[in-house]
Amino acid sequence: MRLRRSLRFTAGAIPLVSLLCLYAQNPPDYAREIQPILEKNCYSCHGEKLQSAGLRLDQKQSALAKLVPGKAAESEIYRRVAGMGNLARMPMGGALPAAQVALIKAWIDGGANWSDTVISSAPKKKHWAFIPPVRPALPVVGNAAGNSKWVRNPIDRFVLAKLDAESLTPSPEADRAKLLRRVSLDLIGLPPTPEETDAFLKDKSPQAYEKQVDRLLASPHYGEKWARHWLDGARYADSDGYEKDKPRFVWFYRDWVINAFNRNLPYSEFIVDQLAGDLLPNATQDQRVATGYLRNSMINEEGGVDPEQFRMEAMYDRMDAIGKGMLGVTIQCAQCHNHKYDPLQQEEYYKLFAFLNNSNEATAAVYTPEQQMKIAGLLRRVREIESSLQHRTPDWETRMATWEASVANNQPEWQVVRPEVDDISTGGQRYILQDDGSLLAQGYAPTKHTVKLTAKTSLANITAFRLELLTDPNLPLGGPGRSIKGTGALSEFRVEAAPAAKPDAKPEPVKISRATADINLPETPLEAMFFDKSNKTRVTGPIEYAIDGKDETAWGFDAGPGLRNQPRKAVFTAEKPLANAGETVLTFYLKQNGGGWNSDDNQNNNLGRIRLSVTNAPDAVADPLPAGVREILGIPKAQRSPAQVQTLFGYWRTTVAQWNDENDTIAALWKQHPEGSSQLVLNERGKVRETHQLIRGDFLNPGKLVTGGVPSFLNPLPAGAPVNRLTFAKWIVARDAPTTARAFVNRLWQAYFGIGIVETSEDFGTQSSPPSHPELLDWLAVEFMDRNWDVKAMQRLIVTSATYRQSSNVTPELLARDPYNRLLARGPRFRVDAEIVRDIALSASGLLNEKIGGPSVYPPAPAFLFQPPTSYGPKVWNNSTDNEQYRRAIYTFRFRSVPYPMLQTFDSPTGDSSCVRRARSNTPLQALTTLNEPLFIESARALARKTLSDGGSTDAQRLNYAMRRVLARAPSAEESAELLQLLVKEQQRFADGKHDPKLFAGVDSAQTAAWTAVSRVLLNLDETITKE
C-alpha cells in the first residue's frame, strides 16, 4: 500500500521507463541482482527443500523452463510476479516491490543470462563478500568520445567503464578554487585560507594539485578530520552512559587515534593495537591506550545493578563495534540465535566472544611524553641514590639479610573471615565476594555509606582484627580505593560480637583500644572533589582517625602519584581479648563518609577491595612491610630477580636511620612525580574466564562451554596460533580476511562520495546492498593490502583520481538518471559532518584555536541542559571562556546522555553504540543553530572585524575578502549586489538607531554591525556548510 502510493506520487516526476532504460544496454547480473530476490522470496517454496508445483527456482534448468529469454511478457516467472494473467500472483506472501519486478523483467528481456559458474544452491554459492578479494584486471576503456584521456589512475578506469556502459560521460574537472576547498574539507576538515587558495591558483605546474594534496596529508589537522570518522565507529564519548553518565577519561585514546592517522600507522597495526595492544611484547603506553577502543562501551552504575549484567552488555557492544566497524559484518543477531541470513552460527558468535571475554575492565595512569620523560628522570635519580648507598655500604647485603631474618617470621597468624553483606547497608554498591575471601566493590558508588558485614568464626579469644585494602585491576588505576585516583577513606571502623548459638542475643560492641596501619599520613583536608556542602572541616589522616568516633576524620592512604595504588592494611586491637568460645558472629561496620555531595558524579571516596581477618595472637599490629615486599621475602633468595632485590632494598633502606637524608631526598623526588591522567584500558586476566554460549543471549541462561574460534565462512585462524585476543586481532587483518580491507576502503569512499561502493557500510553480508562498482571495491581492497595497509596512500589515490576531481554541478537529466550519484558521472556534493560545520565557522572567522589534543573542552552551552530535570543528575559544564572554546569540535566534551546541542542537531552520533554511517539531515533546528547559536554569532562578529581590519578599503574588496574566507571564491556580480544591498540597508538602520549595533556586534559601530549581518548571512549559506 505504501509502495503504491509512492509510485503514484512519483509517476509524474520520474517515469518508470527512464529507470528501465538504465538496464537496456546492461541487463541486471543474475548472481548479484536476481538470485538474491529469488532466494529471499521464492526458495522457501521453490527451492531445495520444497518444490511446489514441481518448480525449483534455485536450479537453472528448472527455472529456465518457466521463462522465455528475451521475452519477459511471455515468461511465466515474470507474469506471475508482475500479477499478469489469471493465475495467482507470486510470491504468496505479498507482491514484490515494483523495482524488483522491473529488475526481473529487465533480466529476462536481456536474455535471462545465467552463468553456469553461479549455479546456485547445492552447494550454495558463497556470498561474494566472504570470498577474499583478488585484484581484478583493469578495464579497457575508451569509447567513441575519447574518454580514456580522462583517466588519471586505475580508479578512473573502473568508474569510466561503468559510465561507458551506461552511455554517460564524466563531468569536467571542478573549478580549481572549488576543488581546493573540497579536498581541504575532505583531508583536514577545514576550508583553505585565502592565502592557500592564492598559492594554488598561482601555481601553474602540472603537479600543483598533487602538491596541495601532499601538503594537506602532512598537516596535523589531517589526523583530526579522519580520527572523527573512526571515533564514530569506536563509539567514543567522554562519559560512561546510562543514568548517571559520569565523566570518564578516554581522551588519551582519542589523541592516540589522531596521532595514528597523522603518523600513518598501517591499518593492520592500527587494528591490532586497538584490540590487543596490551598483549604485544613490551607493550608501550600508546599500545595500551589503544585498547581504549574496546573500553568505550558504556557502564551502568545506577544503584542496584548487577555488574555482571552490564559487563555482558559491554561485551555485546564490543562485538557489535568490531562487527560493524572492522569486519563490516553484522554479527549482533547471532547473540541470541543463528544468523538468519548470513552463515554465522550462534556458537560461532560466542567463540569470537570468548577471545574478548578474558579481560579486566581496567584503567591505567597515563602520562604525556613530557611527563614520561620526567618520570624516567625521577626513577633514574632514585636508582642513582640507591646505587650510591649500596656502593658506600659494601656489606649492605649482609645487613639487609640480618634485617630480613629479623622480620621474616614476625607476623602472627591471621584467619580470613568470609563475611555476608547486608544489602541495605551498602547504599546500592555491590560487594562481590572473591576467591580469596575479599570483597570487591562494584556498580554504583554512593558517596556516603556504612557497610555492615557479618562473619562467623570459630577462633576463640580474638585479640585483633585486620582490614586489608587490596588492589584489583577492575578498580580505578588498580585501587585499592574507588575514587577516580583509586584511593579511598575509612571514616570509622566498628565491630560487634555475639555467640552464634544465641542468635537473638544483642551483639556486644568490641572496644578497640589501638589501631595501627602500614601507612599513616599527616592530617590533610579532603580534596575539593569531595566537597559535601556541609562546610565542616573534613580531613584524612593516620589510622587513629578511624576509631576516634568522628565522621569528619578518616584514615587516608593516598601516598601521592606513582605510589598511591598499592595494597594497604590496618589492624584494630581489642582492649582485651574477646571472651568468646565456640562459634562467634562478628559484625563489622565500615563507615565510608569521605565522598562529596553528588553521588551522580565521580565523588565517591570508598574502599575498593577489602579483606577481613582475625587473630588471637597477643600484641598484633599492622605489618609495616608492604605486601609486595612481604611477597618477595617468601621467595628463596637464589630465585629473586635483580628487580625484586632492588625493591627489597628500596624498602629496607627506609628502615636504616643513618640514611635519613637520602631517604628524605628520595621521598622528595617522589613528590615531583606528575599526576598524569587516567585512561580506560583492557588487560588480560590471569585466570581464564569461561565462556558459554548463552541461550537466547541471556547471561543467566548459559549453555554449552565454548573456547575462542572463528566463523567457518571467514578466513581460518593460523594453525597452531595461541587462542588469545592477540591472535584474534591478527586474524582480523590477515591477508586472507575477506571483508576487513573492503570494509575500510569502502568507508573511505563513503567519506568522500557520501555513499560507499557498498551503501550499507556496516554490513557486507548477504542482506547488504550490492556494490555499485564491485571490481573497483576489490581493486582498492587489494591495493590497500598490497601497499601494506597504507591509509594515506589510499587517500592520495582517491583524491587525485579524475573521478574525485569532477565538478559536482548536475543537470536535471543526470539528476533524474542518477539521483544519488552512484555512477559517479559528477563530483560529490553534500553537507559536511557536524564537527566540520562548527570548524568552518571558527576557521573562516579566524577564531579557531588550532591546538591539537588534550583533555576535552567545554564550549558554550545552556546551563539548564546539565541540571535536572533535563539531565538526570547535576553535571559539571563550566563554559570555557578563554580560547579553549574555539577548539575544533572533535575536542568538545561528549556526555552521552546530554549530547552537545549543535553537534546533535547536525547528526553527530552520541557514542551509545557503534556508528559507521551517519545520517545526514537538513532541518529547521539546524537553521536555528547556525543563525542564533552563540558561537556562530561570535564567528559572524569576528569575521566582520577581520574583514574590516584586513579586507581592504572598499566594500567590494571587503566582501571579496569575507567571501573568500568562507567559500574560497569571489562573489558573482549578482551575489555581490545582494550582499552589498543588505550591507547598505543595515548600516543605515544601525546608524539610524533602529537597533543597537553594540548589542549585535559587540562594538558601537554601525559599520561593524552591518558587516556582522553580512558575515552572518555568509556563514549561513548552504554552500558554506557543503563540500562541493
Partner 1 sequence: MNSPGTHISRRWFFEQCGVGLGAVALKSLLAESAQAAAPMVAPMDLLAPKPPQFPAKAKNVIFLFMAGAPSHLELFDNKPELKKFDGTLPPPELLKGYRSAFINPNSKLLGPKFEFKKYGQSGAELTNLLPHLSTVVDDIAIVKSMVTDAFNHAPGQLLMNTGTMQFGRPSMGAWVTYGLGSESKNLPAFVVFSSGKKGPSGGNSCWGSGFLPTVYQGVQFRSSGDPVLYLSNPEGVDAELQRDSLDSISRLNQMHLGVTGDPEISTRINSFEMAFRMQSSAPELMDITKESKETLELYGAEPGKPSFANNCLLARRLVERGVRFVQLYHEAWDQHAALVKDIKINCQDTDKACAALVKDLKQRGLLENTLVVWGGEFGRTPMVQGGDDGRDHHPNAFTMWMAGGGIKRGVTIGESDDLGFNVVKDKVHVHDLHATMLHLLGFDHTKLTYKFQGRPFRLTDVHGEVAKQLLA
Q: Which residues 876-915 are close enough to bind partner 1 by CB under 8 A?
A: 896-899, 901, 904, 907, 910, 912-913
The stretch among 63-71, 383-391, 455-463, 923-931 that binds partner 1 (CB under 8 A) is: 923-931
Question: Using CB under 8 A, which residues numbered 197 to 216 contact partner 1?
Answer: none
Which grid coordinates are listed for 251? 581522551
* Closer Cβ to partner 1, 557 or 1000, answer by number: 1000
Question: Using CB under 8 A, which residues numbered 250 to 309 contact partner 1?
Answer: 298, 300, 302-306
* Closer Cβ to partner 1, 570 or 777, answer by number: 777
The stretch among 225-233, 639-647, 782-790, 920-928 that binds partner 1 (CB under 8 A) is: 920-928
Residue with cell 552563540: 934
Contacts of 334 (CB under 8 A, 6+ apart): 344, 345, 346, 348, 349
Under rule CB under 8 A, residue 854 binds partner 1:
no
* Closer Cβ to partner 1, 279 or 834, answer by number: 834
| Smallest distance, partner 1 to C-beta of residue 196, A | 22
Question: Using CB under 8 A, which residues numbered 629 to 668 contact partner 1?
Answer: none
| Smallest distance, partner 1 to C-beta of residue 914, A | 8
- Is residue 544 a contact partner of residue 515, using CB atoms and an 8 Å limit? yes
* Closer Cβ to partner 1, 174 or 632, answer by number: 174
**Helix (H) or strand (E) run with residue 683 in it:** strand 677-684
Which grid coordinates are listed for 928? 536555528
Question: Judged by CB under 8 A, which of 146, 394, 549, 812 binds partner 1?
Answer: 812
Under rule CB under 8 A, residue 922 binds partner 1:
yes
Under rule CB under 8 A, residue 917 binds partner 1:
yes
| Smallest distance, partner 1 to C-beta of residue 862, A | 7
| Smallest distance, partner 1 to C-beta of residue 1018, A | 9
Looking at residue 625, the DSSP 8-state letter turns out to be S
CA distances from 327 to 276, 278, 358, 619, 655 (A): 16, 21, 21, 63, 57
Question: Judged by CB under 8 A, which of 70, 85, 97, 718 binds partner 1?
Answer: 97
Question: Judged by CB under 8 A, which of 428, 507, 650, 770 binds partner 1?
Answer: 428
| Smallest distance, partner 1 to C-beta of residue 878, A | 19
Tell how many helices (H) and how many strands (E) occur in the chain.
36, 22
Residue 431 — left, alpha, or beta (φ > 0 → left; ψ -120 to 50 → alpha)? beta
Question: Using CB under 8 A, which residues numbered 16 to 55 contact partner 1?
Answer: 16, 19
Contacts of 1010 (CB under 8 A, 6+ apart): 983, 984, 986, 987, 990
* Closer Cβ to partner 1, 150 or 936, answer by number: 936
Question: Using CB under 8 A, which residues numbered 232 to 261 contact partner 1?
Answer: 241-243, 245
The stretch among 6-14, 365-373, 498-506, 880-888 that binds partner 1 (CB under 8 A) is: 6-14
Contacts of 509 (CB under 8 A, 6+ apart): 494, 495, 496
Question: Using CB under 8 A, which residues numbered 335 to 364 contact partner 1?
Answer: 340-342
Under rule CB under 8 A, residue 860 binds partner 1:
no
The stretch among 490-498, 536-544, 850-858, 996-1004 that binds partner 1 (CB under 8 A) is: 996-1004
| Smallest distance, partner 1 to C-beta of residue 372, A | 36
- Is residue 834 a contact partner of residue 907, using CB atoms and an 8 Å limit? yes
| Smallest distance, partner 1 to C-beta of residue 502, A | 22
Under rule CB under 8 A, residue 994 binds partner 1:
yes
- Is residue 583 a contact partner of residue 458, using CB atoms and an 8 Å limit? yes
The stretch among 316-324, 358-366, 643-651, 798-806 that binds partner 1 (CB under 8 A) is: 316-324
* Closer Cβ to partner 1, 289 or 810, answer by number: 810
* Closer Cβ to partner 1, 257 or 1009, answer by number: 1009
Closest by CA position to 41, among listed 95, 80, 83: 95
Under rule CB under 8 A, residue 868 binds partner 1:
yes
Residue with cell 632492588: 646
Question: Judged by CB under 8 A, which of 385, 774, 997, 1006 binds partner 1?
Answer: 997
Question: Judged by CB under 8 A, which of 43, 316, 753, 858 binds partner 1?
Answer: 316
Question: Judged by CB under 8 A, which of 507, 624, 702, 754 binds partner 1?
Answer: 754
- Is residue 755 a contact partner of residue 918, using CB atoms and an 8 Å limit? no
Question: Using CB under 8 A, which residues numbered 998 to 1027 contact partner 1?
Answer: 998-1001, 1009, 1013, 1016-1017, 1020-1023, 1026
Q: How far apart are CA 360 and CA 511, in angstroms?
A: 40
| Smallest distance, partner 1 to C-beta of residue 141, A | 26
Count of residues that bind partner 1 according to CB under 8 A: 124
Q: How far apart are CA 517 and CA 492, in angstroms?
A: 14
Amino acid occupying residue 741: A
Helix (H, G, I), strand (E, B) or coil at 389: helix
What are the φ and ψ backbone dihedral angles of 576, each rounded to 5 degrees? -140, 155
| Smallest distance, partner 1 to C-beta of residue 187, A | 22
CB-neighbour burial class of residue 9 (10 A; exposed 0-12, middle 13-18, buried 19+):
exposed
* Closer Cβ to partner 1, 265 or 963, answer by number: 963
Which grid coordinates are listed for 713? 565462512
Residue 821 — left, alpha, or beta (φ > 0 → left; ψ -120 to 50 → alpha)? left
Question: Using CB under 8 A, which residues numbered 370 to 399 contact partner 1?
Answer: none
- Is residue 742 a contact partner of residue 781, using CB atoms and an 8 Å limit? yes
Tell me the sheet residues that pair with 589: 452, 494
The stretch among 263-271, 370-378, 646-654, 870-878 that binds partner 1 (CB under 8 A) is: 870-878
- Is residue 519 a contact partner of residue 542, using CB atoms and an 8 Å limit? no
Closest by CA position to 513, among listed 544, 491, 555: 544
Question: Using CB under 8 A, which residues numbered 762 to 801 contact partner 1?
Answer: 762-763, 765-768
| Smallest distance, partner 1 to C-beta of residue 191, A | 16
Question: Using CB under 8 A, which residues numbered 562 to 621 contact partner 1?
Answer: none
> Using alpha carbons only, how large is the chain's radius of gyration in Å?
35
| Smallest distance, partner 1 to C-beta of residue 313, A | 7
Which grid coordinates are listed for 862? 545552556
Site track 481-500 with partner 1 (rule: CB under 8 A), x = hit = --------------------
Looking at residue 486, the DSSP 8-state letter turns out to be S
| Smallest distance, partner 1 to C-beta of residue 944, A | 13
DSSP 852-905: --SS-B-----GGGGSTTTSSS--------SGGGGB-GGGB---SSS--HHHHH
Looking at residue 474, the DSSP 8-state letter turns out to be T
* Closer Cβ to partner 1, 167 or 923, answer by number: 923
**Helix (H) or strand (E) run with residue 466 in it:** strand 464-469
Which grid coordinates are listed for 327? 569486519
| Smallest distance, partner 1 to C-beta of residue 342, A | 7
| Smallest distance, partner 1 to C-beta of residue 826, A | 9
Q: Kindly report the number of other CB atoms within 10 A of residue 995's CB atom.
A: 13
| Smallest distance, partner 1 to C-beta of residue 175, A | 10
Question: Judged by CB under 8 A, which of 188, 257, 289, 333 binds partner 1?
Answer: 333
Question: Using CB under 8 A, which residues numbered 955 to 984 contact partner 1?
Answer: 972, 974-975, 978-979, 982
The stretch among 358-366, 464-472, 503-511, 925-933 that binds partner 1 (CB under 8 A) is: 925-933
Which grid coordinates are listed for 575? 582492649
Q: Kindly report the number of other CB atoms within 10 A of residue 926's CB atom.
A: 18
Residue 590 — left, alpha, or beta (φ > 0 → left; ψ -120 to 50 → alpha)? beta
Under rule CB under 8 A, residue 442 binds partner 1:
no
CB-neighbour burial class of residue 143 (10 A; exposed 0-12, middle 13-18, buried 19+):
middle
Q: Kindly report the number of other CB atoms within 10 A of residue 458's CB atom.
A: 11
| Smallest distance, partner 1 to C-beta of residue 806, A | 13
